[in-house]
Amino acid sequence: MAAYATASDLINQYDETTLNDLCVDDGVPETSLDTNSKVTWALDRATGEINAAVLVGQLYTVETLLALSGESEVYLKSLCCELAMAYLILRRPEKYGSEATKEFRQSIKDTLDMFRRGERVFDVAANKEAGLPTIDGPRAVDYQRLNLLPNRTQNFYPHTATRLPLGRGN
């Protein structure tokens, strides 16, 4: 499976010089970060972590995430790039400081936790159309026509309309 973001997306979001510094171990700058194994690894790992977070709630499938468009697609790519950048920074913690790395990673973890809990969702038509569950069943009038014991002893049991779900009392 392809990563949700590409090296080009990563370069659009972060400084290319910084990315080169994080990805190159021999001091010779990469001519193209698209083929750098460390960038590819970081983007794949970020995609895996996003999948682990959003698929647990069963609101999405991988196919749904790959089919995102518009702002949701940009947000997914941005999230993937942020995670990839965090992994790349973890390659050089002495350079950026462990506190900055921890804060960056915690911010992303909080975002993924919100997806796990359903507090954040992508703009997917099926999720928006799902809405609230509908309540089906007899209304209070239907129960009164049955002439059950609670209706014959009106002062002893609560009124039928107060014992039914909201909206079914009429």
**Can you tell me the distance from the alpha carbon of 159 to that of 170, in angstroms, rounded to the nearest whole number?**
12
Contact status, residue 127 vs residue 121, Cβ threshold 8 Å: yes
Q: 115-131 pLDDT, tens per residue?
A: 777 777 777 666 555 55
Task: Report the first-to-last Cα separation within the chain, whole angstroms.
Answer: 53
11 has pLDDT over 70: yes
Q: What is the pLDDT of residue 26?
A: 77
b (16+ CB within 10 A) / e for 88-113: bbeeeeeebeeeebeebbeebeebbe
- Compare 129 and 113 and report the one with higher pLDDT: 113
Q: Which tens digit of pLDDT belongs to each residue from 16-68?
A: 888 888 888 777 777 778 888 888 999 999 999 888 888 887 778 888 888 88
Instruction: Flag whether the pTM goes above 0.75.
Output: no
